[in-house]
Structure 1
Amino acid sequence: MKHNWMKSGLTALTAAGLLLGGTIAESGMQVAYAAKSVTLSGQAVGLTGGSLSIRDAHFLMQDKGKVLAYTVVITNKSSKSMDLLDYWIRVKSKSGKSFKATVVEGDKEKTSVPANSTQYMTYYAVVDSATKLTDLSFDIIKWDFSSSNYEKRLGTISYPSQGTDRIAAFQPGVMLYGSGKLKGAVKQAYISKDKDNGYVTVNYLLENVGQQVIDLSKLTFNIQTESLSVYNVSSPSLETMTIQPRERKIITLRSTLPLAVVAKPLTLVPSFNDEATKLKLPTGVFQLPALKVQSASTAGQPRSIYLEGQPVTTKAGNAIISQDAEGQSVSLEFSLTNTGSTAVAAGAFDFYLVTGNGKSYALTYAKEENASLLPGIGKSLALTGTLPAEASLTGAELVMKSLATDKEKSYVIASYVVEAASLEGGLGTAFSYKDYSIQLKTVTRTSGVEQDKLVAGIAITNNSKVAKQIPALGGYFMVNGVKIGTEQKAIGLDSTLVLAPGSSYEAVVAADIPYSTSISQIAFVATESAADKPGKMLYQFTGQQLSEIPVIGNLTDYVISGSGQKATIKLKRNAVYKGVGTQTFYAEFEGINQEPRATAIAKLGGYLVDKNGLIVPVQYAEVKERISSGGKALVSAWSALPRAFDASDYKLVIGQAIGTEPAAPPAGENGGSGTGTNAGSVTSPLLVKPVSFQLGQTNESVADQVKELKVGGFGLSLAKTSAFYDVKDMYNVAGLKLETVYSLGRDATYEAIAGTHKIKVEFVNQDTNQLTYSKTFDLAAALEGSQDEVLKEGTDIPLKILFNDPEIQNKVRTNSKFKLNIYDVFQGSSILIASQEMNWFLINN
């Protein structure tokens, strides 16, 4: 009864001894059994119906001191349950000092081992800082109530004198983690440095070798030196990570170390966060390889990094440098491609350009919140920044760092050698950009009303074997070394959305400059356009002269070659019409649609330049109708010329007009209908691919008969013309009566006629007084705002024209002959196109 009472009364103490690791003084009893092995786990002590061994033991220095964590393995080989209340373990050092060991909270309920099974239990103890693993021994004790101190030492497990808990670098080790098992291995470790710290990156492989899902949220890591200095390791991805049975994951671990430490032997210590004690219980110790500073990657060469455990291939392009008012603008492209199996966050980076003398300059890019990079997907970051004018890129590096958060500091991920790109060439040269070739074909200067325009013509060629989208390009000009205006987006000349392999696409970039600007040097800088931010510089074309606007013969076709709007333009007629104190330039162009389907003729624009350099803008009527393939349209062009304009020697510059509003003759007494503006409010069109015609004094032939006259796309003939006095009430002469029969028809050659003309009929008496009367008519249809009568389309239409002048008899000396003059009237100015002498009082044919 006494023994039963003692055993029953000591149950709690026994439980404390084994489950809580109580420190009961050594009894001095002889060892009953102890396996002799060079490894810790190879030693076992026999129990009734089973055995006990120490699987592992590890140290991790913490705020509470040097924490020992060890795992006990109890195997029950019998056919009945093993009561753990009968056993406990005493931890001591070689000096005989005992340490209080405590079972972890999760194992406190383990009081027995079922038959034919194995149980794992983890304990921790705080030891003195001088204690080494090889100093430790573990006495296995069983209650023995026949003994004077009620205990019997079954055996002692000693840490081998040559033993170590460290797993060699790159070798795997299996750890107990809660009720599961994890296999871990250091796969890669490297370091980057700055002037203050070393930044260690460890890519660590985890494999769940157990039978159940493991929650990794309580798994933490530290780096520990041989002198037990401990440094935090960050891996935010673990907070929400689980790992399935047989699943493998690579996690990226990072730590910031003092420079004095990085060359010392280091270990990576994974541990389990025990919430009850606020301790980190080490589960393994992995030796890190000697950390070598990872040299900066060569510019343009790929480099593999790990983000959230996934391999990502990165590459830094060459830096593009341009001078500006603030110093030097630098831009470079940085690419990332996820070569792993799961998405990774790809928006939390900082970039710095560190010069050879150690000065650091931040680079910026468009950061996206919660951006991710999917497997197999690439992404480019356009990095830009400003350097002092004296800064040199010799020996410079691009440093990629993580973005500091409230959970972890910023750390260096990788560095890359920076080289300035040799991105300069002249007119006609090309550079490679992604899968494209970009060529500068022309740089022209066209004249406007208040400002001139610089226009760069570029050709974009798809060099790949698959169809590509049109790249978003732009650019700006530098005149005499000074940047002009801001970056402008390229405007396409081809109506296409994709580029077939080997095909080209033409575009222009334009900028306004004051007309008084003198240009001695000009450069064009091509950029990659971006929304709501400056574009990335791609290439600088320097050393070229302005392209001369080619002069073509007046009979030579002007060709518009852009896909979707192919056409040829022929100059059919040009003249300078004279008015009262005015002169008007007029030209007609025949546009032929060269597309395989109906489309509108491309808009035209241009200006006149006389031999003295006087610039006058020219307006072009818009063809609103769609013209069939091979069909023709007649387009009018005009300009009110200032008195100083020398019409004896001048050029007409013509080109395709981009981004301009359609022009039409202004409505008014002498003009036509339309929505155009007068010359005083004309804005400069953007002319692309301009050419010029050399023009001069025109001698328009004047027909000697008023038939088969060509007027603005119409044909006009007059017949049976007669002149009589307009007599009222038998005796009263009211004026002149001119009667005729006319035929008016539209030229069937043209599907559309753009531009409005009028006809002026003039009577001139052939005596010394040269009495003159005239009347103006609209053609085919009344023009908006016009008070003139209309000559309708048709054949042999009678026309009576009355000129009211009661004094006509006093003004006419002889009434034998008169001349009938026909004028083409345009924009209030007129030109004589036919003159025929006729007889009074007779019907003249």
Structure 2
Amino acid sequence: MRKVSVTAAALGVTLLVSGAHGALAAASTTTKTTKTTTQQTKPVVHTLANLNPVKISAKSTVRLTDVNILNLDEESILTYTLTVKNGDNKTLDLLDYWSKVKTTSGTTYSTSLMTKDKEKKKLSAGSSTTLTYVAKVGKNIKISSLLFQVIKWDFSQANYESLKGQFKVPASYITSTPADQSKTLRVFDTPVKTMINQVAAYTSGDYNYVSVNLDLKNIGYKIFEDPKVKFVIKAASGASYPMSVDSTSTDYKIQPQDSKTLNLMTSIPKSVKLSNMELQIVQDDETSKLSLPIATMQLPNVTNKSLAIETNVEKFIPLGTGKIAVKLTSASLLQSFDEHDLSVRLNFRNTSGSTINIPKYQFEIQTSDGYRLPISTQVMDNLTLQPLEERVLNLNVTIPANVSATKPQLFMSLPAVADSKETFSYPVGIFAVPEVQPSSNMIGQTQFVQTKNGILGATLSSIQRLPWSDGDLVSAKVTIRNTGFKTILLPGMAGQLKVDSANMTNDTKLISTQSIGLLGAGMATDLYVVSRVPSYLDFSQLQVSLLEKIGETTTSEWVQFGHAGAIPELQSVAKGDPYKIDTPDRQEELKVLRSLVYSSSSSDLIYTELEVTNNENHQIDLSQFTGAYQSSNGQSYKASASQIETSAAPDQKSIVSLWARIPKSISTSDIKLIVGEGITDNKLTPIKGEPNGYVNAAALELGGTTSPTLSTTLENMDMLPYKLTVKNAKASLTGSSSVQLSFDYTQTRNMDYAIGEYGHKYLFEVIDSSGHTFEKEFTPETDLRVTSGGSASFSINDIIYENKRSGTFQLNVYDLFDGHKVKLGSKSFYYTTASLE
């Protein structure tokens, strides 16, 4: 950040509003009464054309046609032009003539011809030519105090000189070209008519930035090439200020009868008055090694004024043979701790019928208190617009808290052009940024983005902070809606999050809910900007940006949102109530069926079954759900999940199982399941994919955990979607160490639900009256069929059964999952012996 300095560009000719060509001569006023009217009269203006010519023969004359003085620190450089007309019928020998310049007090200055005129030796009959002479004169010399002499060499004279005549310019005459008139330059091989087009000034910091629009027209018969002349503004005090030429006005060529406009600018201290200024054209001369003034043109008096273009007003900028229209369409201002983030949106439109390569414009915000804030962007790199193509650019800058954010202006400048004096970045447009109020909480707010295909609405739908295994996830949901009447192809995008003042650049991902970027009329899609933050980190401000990808590595900010304060609590869903997921083309509904706590010797396992329904009218791949359990004191445990690995038909219900190991000390009475759609890299997790995060989450109330109804008859033991009934259990003692346990069973399956990989097993536990325990696992539909008349058996071998002839045992049936179990049923039985069978 810096105050505007002399090296800063602040004004461009091409951005000027209609400028008046102020005439040098003031018109007299016209008064009108009821009886008489005084006609307007224009005072006579005397120029060099009013001076009488000097006769050098009966029919040949010499006229003084141009006088210019360039003021330097120690002296001034004078150039004056004599136009010789040969009216005789024979060739005129120009070597017979010379010119001197002296003051009225008698001081004589040495003169020389400009290099371009040194070879002019003969003048054909009936033709004319110009001779420009150069002299170093006193610093404060006035033209009216000079005598311009025409001399013929005459060896009969004592000093070999014969004075043919002289010119004295009265003080009332003007030698510079009036601002409303053209000046034909004949110092080049091709005559070029020059005229001041527009002049304007703009105050910035300690300087007035003055720009001049100079029109050149080739009135000759061959091409005119850039003569590499210099331009200087001469103030009324005599001080000179070199002007810079914008980069589009260098190395040009002008075809015969064609025109070119040069855009010039300079900075002048505010203490210097901008009245009675002149534009001088200066050319380096090979022979004298001096910079010589070759034309002086008056500038109309100019007053400072704002040249900023209002919002949604197009600025037309010529580029080569084409033209672009640029307008500022909108702005937003996000409030932060010690700064404001300003985002402005520019629309570029190619108005021509040919492709235009856009220059690498430079942008900066100039604040109302005089600070310049450069805008860094790669958008302009290799930017090309096809005929009638439009491109929207988003430009962003940070405004420090101690700098005013009211009424800023956007400067759009050509790339800097360096010369020997200064380096200017030449502005081609100044745009007034509309007044906007700083926003800090933008959830629910919509910003409209103009694209080349139509207008899109971008809404910050939600912000969530979600527990995860190695920290928390911050997820911002942005809904993009096509407000137009035709399908739009969305641009490639990236996401960016800023937490307080830190940009989360390393681990931020943009999640798209659809694989194809087409968005139909009136349709919407969701994008999620997701990043990881430490779980212990407290922050109070969040900024969310969508960046448009331009090429392989370049991005441009597309839209920006902000939020201050605490992140909103997650939506809480009461047990039994549905949680609806409205992801486009993947609308689903889920609700909690039951939650259980499984035990082991070292830990517990909390387990939840969700009923998920496909609410679309076509088959879909269900979201791959994941999440975490969170206790009332904020402790969280990442959940594992199991679900179907095939597409779901319309209205089809399936079971999604989630679970996590928790310490035995954790109370599950008020624990919640935070569940959302899994994400992998930059998309929603596909079937069989491994989530590395999740979005679009809700906190499902479990209502505490329950235990299955314990069956004391081993009937209808529930292990969703299965139910098992065990009958006629017998354990036969043989007198050896082996026992054969057999039983009849009925197993049913609830076909209303589809299930994924099923990790549950039945665990049959036999506890002898002596306290010894034996276990056997059975897998549904593998070891135990779905049937109403099944039977199964297993053997137990242990030394305790040797010579055992009677006794009792208890048969327990468990739901076994991930090394943890929950009891489903229990019943006591008597042993039988082989002799009793």
Shorter-chain TM-score bucket reads 0.7 to 0.9
**Residues 1:758 and 2:780 aligned together:** no
Kindly report which structure 2 residues correspond to 1:105-184, keeping only aligned pairs within 5 A, or say none: 105-114=115-124, 118-128=128-138, 132-134=142-144, 159=169, 162-184=172-194
User: Compared with structure 1, are the counterparts of its residues 606 and 273 closer, same or farther at alpha carbon in structure 2 (3 Å cutoff)?
Assistant: same
Query: Among 380, 389, 396, which residue is 1:382 paired with?
Result: 396
Q: Secondary structure at the match of 1:807?
A: helix
Query: Among 561, 580, 590, which residue is 2:582 paired with?
Result: 561
Tell me the equivalent position of 1:27: none
Deviation at 1:422, TM superposition (A): 1.2
How many Å separate the matches in 2 of 1:611 and 1:126?
A: 93
Tell me the equivalent position of 1:689: 697
Q: Secondary structure at the match of 1:753?
A: coil
Q: Which amino acid aligns with 1:802?
A: S
User: Compared with structure 1, are the counterparts of its residues 70 and 630 closer, same or farther at alpha carbon in structure 2 (3 Å cutoff)?
Assistant: farther
Query: Among 809, 830, 842, which residue is 2:821 paired with?
Result: 830
Q: Which amino acid aligns with 2:296?
A: V
Kindly report which structure 2 residues correspond to 1:119-268, keeping only aligned pairs within 5 A, or say none: 119-128=129-138, 132-134=142-144, 159=169, 162-193=172-203, 196-235=206-245, 237=247, 240-268=251-279
User: Compared with structure 1, are the counterparts of its residues 198 and 400 closer, same or farther at alpha carbon in structure 2 (3 Å cutoff)?
Assistant: farther
Kindly report which structure 2 residues correspond to 1:53-132, keeping only aligned pairs within 5 A, or say none: 53-62=63-72, 65-75=75-85, 82-89=92-99, 91=101, 99-114=109-124, 118-128=128-138, 132=142
Q: Is the 8 A contact 1:170 1:188 kept in 2?
A: no
How many Å separate the matches in 2 of 1:608 and 1:188?
A: 71
Deviations 1:751-804 (A, max 9, x none): 761342223234567xx66876421245678xxxxxxxx779999998652211
User: Compared with structure 1, are the counterparts of its residues 424 and 144 closer, same or farther at alpha carbon in structure 2 (3 Å cutoff)?
Assistant: closer
How many Å separate the matches in 2 of 1:290 and 1:72?
A: 30
User: Compared with structure 1, are the counterparts of its residues 812 and 185 closer, same or farther at alpha carbon in structure 2 (3 Å cutoff)?
Assistant: farther
User: Compared with structure 1, are the counterparts of its residues 52 and 575 closer, same or farther at alpha carbon in structure 2 (3 Å cutoff)?
Assistant: same
User: Compared with structure 1, are the counterparts of its residues 256 and 442 closer, same or farther at alpha carbon in structure 2 (3 Å cutoff)?
Assistant: closer
Query: Among 786, 795, 798, which residue is 1:802 paired with?
Result: 795
Deviation at 1:308, TM superposition (A): 10
Deviation at 1:825, TM superposition (A): 1.3
144-153 vs 634-643, which deviates more? 144-153
Q: Which amino acid aligns with 1:424?
A: S
User: Compared with structure 1, are the counterparts of its residues 591 and 350 closer, same or farther at alpha carbon in structure 2 (3 Å cutoff)?
Assistant: closer
Kindly report which structure 2 residues correspond to 1:564-643, keeping only aligned pairs within 5 A, or say none: 565-580=586-601, 582-593=603-614, 600-609=621-630, 615-621=636-642, 624-625=645-646, 633-643=654-664
TM-score in terms of structure 2 length:
0.73
Deviations 1:271-324 (A, max 9, x none): 222133222332322211223223474885869698999998575976846443
Flag structure 1 segments of 5+ consecutive residues without an equivalent: 1-35, 665-673, 677-682, 782-789
Q: Is the 8 A contact 1:735 1:807 kept in 2?
A: no
User: Compared with structure 1, are the counterparts of its residues 429 and 612 closer, same or farther at alpha carbon in structure 2 (3 Å cutoff)?
Assistant: closer
Query: Among 711, 733, 736, which residue is 1:733 paired with?
Result: 736
Tell me the equivalent position of 1:494: 513
Kindly report which structure 2 residues correspond to 1:389-538, keeping only aligned pairs within 5 A, or say none: 393=405, 405=418, 407-410=420-423, 421-424=436-439, 426=441, 429-432=444-447, 434-435=449-450, 437-444=457-464, 446-447=466-467, 455-463=475-483, 467=488, 468-469=490-491, 472=494, 474-476=496-498, 489=508, 491-492=510-511, 494-495=513-514, 497=517, 499-500=519-520, 502-509=522-529, 524-527=542-545, 538=560
How many Å separate the matches in 2 of 1:811 and 1:245?
A: 125
How many Å separate the matches in 1 of 2:424 and 2:657?
A: 69
Deviation at 1:219, TM superposition (A): 1.0
Q: Which amino acid aligns with 2:571?
A: I
Q: Is the 8 A contact 1:423 1:540 kept in 2?
A: no
How many Å separate the matches in 2 of 1:661 and 1:830?
A: 38
How many Å separate the matches in 1 of 2:613 and 2:811?
A: 36
Tell me the equivalent position of 2:43: none
Deviation at 1:515, TM superposition (A): 6.4
How many Å separate the matches in 2 of 1:525 and 1:131?
A: 65
User: Compared with structure 1, are the counterparts of its residues 170 and 130 closer, same or farther at alpha carbon in structure 2 (3 Å cutoff)?
Assistant: same
Deviation at 1:826, TM superposition (A): 0.5
Tell me the equivalent position of 2:777: 776
Tell me the equivalent position of 1:294: 305
Q: How many residues align?
A: 759
Deviation at 1:737, TM superposition (A): 1.9
User: Compared with structure 1, are the counterparts of its residues 561 and 407 closer, same or farther at alpha carbon in structure 2 (3 Å cutoff)?
Assistant: farther
Q: Which amino acid aligns with 1:430?
A: Q
Deviation at 1:267, TM superposition (A): 0.1
Q: Is the 8 A contact 1:192 1:412 kept in 2?
A: no
Deviation at 1:569, TM superposition (A): 3.2
Q: Is the 8 A contact 1:299 1:316 kept in 2?
A: no
Q: Is the 8 A contact 2:334 2:439 kept in 1?
A: no
Deviations 1:502-558 (A, max 9, x none): 443334456767768899xx654444659999989955445788345222442x443
User: Compared with structure 1, are the counterparts of its residues 76 and 822 closer, same or farther at alpha carbon in structure 2 (3 Å cutoff)?
Assistant: farther
TM-score in terms of structure 1 length:
0.72
Flag structure 2 segments of 5+ consecutive residues without an equivalent: 1-45, 451-455
Q: Secondary structure at the match of 1:106?
A: helix
Q: Is the 8 A contact 1:477 1:484 kept in 2?
A: yes
How many Å separate the matches in 2 of 1:476 and 1:142?
A: 83
Deviation at 1:120, TM superposition (A): 4.0
Deviations 1:651-703 (A, max 9, x none): 433322345999x9xxxxxxxxx999xxxxxx995452314133335353567
How many Å separate the matches in 2 of 1:134 and 1:235?
A: 33
After superposition, the CA RMSD in angstroms is: 5.4
Q: Is the 8 A contact 2:363 2:374 kept in 1?
A: no
Q: Considering only CA atoms, is the larger Rg found in Structure 1 or Structure 2?
A: 1
Q: Which amino acid aligns with 1:775?
A: K
Q: Is the 8 A contact 2:496 2:503 kept in 1?
A: no
Deviations 1:792-835 (A, max 9, x none): 999999865221124325556357xx776543310112234467
Q: Is the 8 A contact 2:68 2:79 kept in 1?
A: yes
More contact order relative to length (CA 8 Å, sep ≥ 6)? 2
User: Compared with structure 1, are the counterparts of its residues 172 and 838 closer, same or farther at alpha carbon in structure 2 (3 Å cutoff)?
Assistant: farther
Tell me the equivalent position of 1:546: 568
How many Å separate the matches in 1 of 2:463 and 2:378?
A: 37
How many Å separate the matches in 2 of 1:37 and 1:491?
A: 72
How many Å separate the matches in 1 of 2:65 and 2:498?
A: 71
